[in-house]
Every structure is written in C-alpha cells, then in structure tokens.
Amino acid sequence: MTGIAVFPGQGSQTVGMGKDLFDRFPDICATADRVLGYPIRELCLGDPERKLGRTEFTQPALFTVNALHYMAHLADGASVPDFVAGHSLGEYNALLAAEAFDFETGLRLVQKRGALMGAISGGGMAAVLGADAGRVRAVIQEAGISTVDVANFNAISQTVLSGPSDDLERLRPSFESAGANVVPLNVRTAFHSRYMRSVARDFAAFLDTIRFMPLVVPVISNFTALPYRDDEIANNLVKQIDHSVRWVESVQYLLDEPDPVFVELGPGTVLTRLIKDIRQHPTPVNIARRY
C-alpha cells in the first residue's frame, strides 16, 4: 500500500473549520495569532468581520487548519505518508508535511502569498464541467479568444479557466453548444494565469529570504506534476502562481504507485471527489519519472 496525504486549497474554507482541533494544539494557535496579528480561532470558527472569504485571510487560515488536520492525523496513530500533494495553497501544507520548513515559516509564506494575490483585482474564473481538457482547449481556440488561460486541470470532466470576465462570459455559448456547463466562480481575480505574473515576480523576491530544508517525503508539484527536487522548491512555488495547477496529472502519477490510498486532510472533501473522477477515467501517464 502507498499512503498519500492530500491537502485542499482555497475554496475549501468554511466557517467552523478546525473546531475540534484548536484545543488539541494550542502552541500552533498561539504561533498563528502572533504571526498574523489576529486570533485565528475567531476567524475560522466565527468570522465575525466576514474576512474568511478574502484571499489575504483565507490562505493563512486554511494553511493553519490543514496543518492541524495533519498533526491530528499523526497524533491519532497514522503513519507518515509515502507521498504528499496539495492543490494550490494546499501544496504549502504538503511541503510542511515533508519538512521543507516549519509551521511558522510556512505561515509567513502563505501570509505573504495571500497578501500579494489579494491585492490583485480584475478578471475572474469559471469552471467548465462535462468536457475534457482537450475539448476545452479546442473550444477556446475555435472561439478565437486568446485572453483566457487554463488555471486548473482539476479532473477529467472539470477544468477551470482564468481571464477577463467578459471573455469568460463570451465563451459560455460555445461551451454550451459543445455540451458542457460553465459555472462562474466567486472570485474577482484570474488566479493561476498570465495575469498573476506581477505577483509571481514579487513573491520570487520574498522567497529569496527563505531557506528550505531537504524534503523527507516526496511532494508532487502543481507546476510539474512530478516530485519536487530539493533545489527547485522556490522556483516551483513561484511558477505555481501564474501557471496551471496540473492536478489531473499529479493524481495520475500517484495512481501509478502500488495500491495507492489517498487521505484528504483539511476541511471538506473537494479533492476526494476530484480523485474519484480521475480514477474513473484512467488515462496513461505520459510524464517520465525522475527517480
């Protein structure tokens, strides 16, 4: 059996997340309060000022709750996983589990990432359901719209697009004619696209101040859909910001391991559902192993 821990990203947050975990790990909560400058428990459990849906607050909160889920997973007797992976923000929890950095360093990373990403506005995102990635790309090309990027290859039947909101809406009739549904996402920014390049540049400068440790568990990268090398952590985290999340290929890579067993550690079951979809549509993995 190959044990695989996966961590969800932005969009999985919900008021009340982590309610059974904060009291178990008070040191983590104290560290989060000190670094962030506000009470993390209050934000996650009550959200009295309705900030949890704002990127600059979502990312540190979700990173903290994902970390608590992982710590509880181990404390309850689970073994250290054989592989880890995370979707977008969740990749930071995968790297934390692999000991690339400690909790405080990881929290400072996502605090900066969230602040940079939250400061960008304009554009939007939409999920295309019921068409595979090849068909999605063909429809975009046939429509003659060159301003839209693929943000997330989430599942065989789910691809998320980023770009100008008007152009995403212009694509809707073309996708509907192709038998797909288009669901606009509740975001005001075109994440994981060319429109995040300034954020990637600024984050790269911040990462120059961070020292990463050798990984103790293989981490699958969103950017390459392959295991990280120790010398490419900063590069992959920068590229992740303005490139596609290759979740389908990442899961396909892991499904090629002997008897893979996935456990999602975080609020909700978004990744569990995506993995189920990918399992039901087997596709040959055509990316070479590195080791």
CB count within 10 Å of CB 44 equals: 27
Question: CB atoms < 10 A from the CB of 259, how many?
Answer: 7
Residue of 12, 88, 193, 250 with catalytic role: 88
Q: Which residues contact 74 (CB under 8 A, 6 or more apart)?
A: 80
Q: Kindly name the residue from 12, 192, 221, 250 that is annotated as catalytic.
A: 192
Dig out the tokens for 253 from the structure: 């890579």
Which pairing describes strands 2-7 and 124-129: parallel, antiparallel, or unpaired?
unpaired
88 is catalytic: yes
Q: Dihedral through CA 27, CA 112, CA 147, CA 87, nearest 10?
A: -20
Show the 3-state SS of 209-263. Answer: CCCCCCCCCCEECCCCCCECCHHHHHHHHHHHHHCCECHHHHHHHHHCCCCEEEE
Query: Cβ contacts of residue 282 below 8 Å, gap of 6+?
Result: 255
Reply yes or no on whether 73 is catalytic.
Answer: no
Residues catalogued as catalytic: 88, 192
